Structures are given as structure tokens and as C-alpha cells.
């Protein structure tokens, strides 16, 4: 073993790492401001369309988290799956998945759930989970992993949404999974280049 060999730390997944850092900053700001910054920027709810903050919240809500448990739960999954996807599909494509998921979940919550304050990266996590099942797709085939992931994760969210009363936005998970599935299909067909 060569004792002169040095171990280097690499910034292997810039989009996922920066997104995780933004989420951490949003959480700390929320704690320091006693939730004021979270309500102002890092959650989405029905508000005036004449306010510029409404449009920022359509995207910013994915960075907000209610507490450390919420943050750690989302970041653990994101940091496990995200770098692999970013390596396979490219940084710009993964950034597009994150932005598309934020916009879809933000607008749906804004329109259909006016009194619900939505925050968190779980929609992005579900998009990544479903997207990951497309990593080995070939022309004319549907991976069994995609079917299993869809049944287990999305089916579980439908069940929870109908039968479990908690503070979890199951619709956001389902929408995130839908965005991940749709973009996974498009990327697998090489309709989005690797950037």
C-alpha cells in the first residue's frame, strides 16, 4: 500500500449538493426567524398573484422543511439517489427535474389546496425514486423495477391519502413520482440529451 497516496474529496454531484445546501440554509433561516422566512419564501399556499413572492414560493417551497426530522428524512433519500441520477442523466437534466417537480407541485397546491401550506423536498425525492427505475430502460420495454416502484411507492401514497390522516402531502408525492416517470421516459428515449 502506497503511504503517499492522498484521498481527495470530490464535489461529485453539484446540483444535488447545492440543492441540499439550499434546503439546509432554508431550514436554519426558518429556525432563526421563528418560521417567518419559511412562510414568506419556503412554502406555497394561496396568496395574491400580484405578489412577486407568490411566484418565488412556487419554486422555493421545495427548500423549506418543518423541522430537522423532516429535513433529514428528505435529504437522506435525496443524497442516496440523486448523485447516481445526476451521473447518469447529467446535471442540467437533474436540475430540470427538480424545477419541474417544484413548479407542478407548487401550482397544484396553490390551486386545489388554498388553505394548506406545502413545503419540503419529498416531491423531488419521489420524482428521483421513479426516475431511478428508468435507468436501464430499453426500447419497447417497461422495467419490472419501474412497475414495482410505482406500485409500492405511489400505491402506498394513494392508500395513505385515502386512509391515513396525517400531515403528509401524499398528492405531492404522487405528482413528484409522475414528473419523475414522465421525464424518465423522455430521457430514456434520448429526447433530452445528457447535459
pLDDT tens digits along 19-47: 999 999 999 999 999 999 999 999 999 99
Cβ neighbours around 154 below 10 Å, total: 20
Least confident of 55-59, 73-77, 173-177: 173-177
Residue 166 confidence (pLDDT) above 70? no
Residue 68 confidence (pLDDT) above 90? yes
The pTM (predicted TM-score) of the whole model is: 0.85
Residue 163 confidence (pLDDT) above 80? no
Mean pLDDT for 103-126 is 92
d(CA 60, CA 62) in angstroms, rounded, equals 5
Mean pLDDT for 84-91 is 92
Quote the pLDDT of residue 150: 74
Residues whose CB is less than 8 angstroms from the CB of residue 16 and which lie 6 or more positions away in sequence, other chains included: 78, 79, 82, 83, 86, 94
Q: Are 91 and 14 in contact (CB under 8 A)?
A: yes
d(CA 83, CA 19) in angstroms, rounded, equals 12
d(CA 52, CA 155) in angstroms, rounded, equals 36
Number of C-alpha atoms within 13 angstroms, CB side, residue 71? 19
Split at pLDDT 50, 70, 90, the class of 187 is confident
**Considering only CA atoms, which of 144, 132, 150, 148 is closest in space to residue 187?**
132
Percentage of residues in the chain having pLDDT higher than 90: 55
Enumerate the H helices of the chain as residue ranges.
14-32, 36-40, 52-60, 68-89, 91-112, 122-132, 144-149, 155-163, 170-188
d(CA 19, CA 34) in angstroms, rounded, equals 22
Amino acid at each position: 500500500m502506497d503511504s503517499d497516496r492522498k484521498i481527495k474529496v470530490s464535489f461529485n454531484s453539484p446540483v444535488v449538493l447545492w440543492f441540499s445546501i439550499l434546503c439546509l440554509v432554508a431550514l436554519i433561516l426558518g429556525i432563526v426567524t421563528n418560521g417567518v422566512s419559511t412562510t414568506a419564501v419556503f412554502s406555497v399556499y394561496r396568496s395574491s398573484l400580484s405578489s412577486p413572492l407568490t411566484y418565488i414560493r412556487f419554486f422555493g417551497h421545495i427548500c423549506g422543511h418543518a423541522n430537522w426530522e423532516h429535513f433529514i428524512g428528505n435529504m437522506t433519500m435525496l443524497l442516496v439517489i440523486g448523485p447516481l441520477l445526476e451521473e447518469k442523466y447529467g446535471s442540467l437534466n437533474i436540475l430540470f427535474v427538480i424545477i419541474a417537480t417544484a413548479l407542478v407541485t407548487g401550482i397544484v397546491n396553490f390551486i386545489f389546496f388554498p388553505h394548506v401550506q406545502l413545503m419540503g423536498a419529498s416531491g423531488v425525492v419521489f420524482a428521483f425514486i421513479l426516475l431511478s427505475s428508468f435507468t436501464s430502460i430499453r426500447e419497447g420495454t417497461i422495467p419490472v423495477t419501474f412497475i414495482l416502484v410505482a406500485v409500492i411507492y405511489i400505491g402506498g401514497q394513494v392508500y395513505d391519502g385515502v386512509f391515513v390522516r396525517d400531515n403528509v402531502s401524499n398528492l405531492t408525492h404522487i405528482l413528484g413520482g409522475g414528473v419523475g416517470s414522465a421525464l424518465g421516459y423522455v430521457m430514456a428515449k434520448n429526447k433530452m440529451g445528457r447535459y
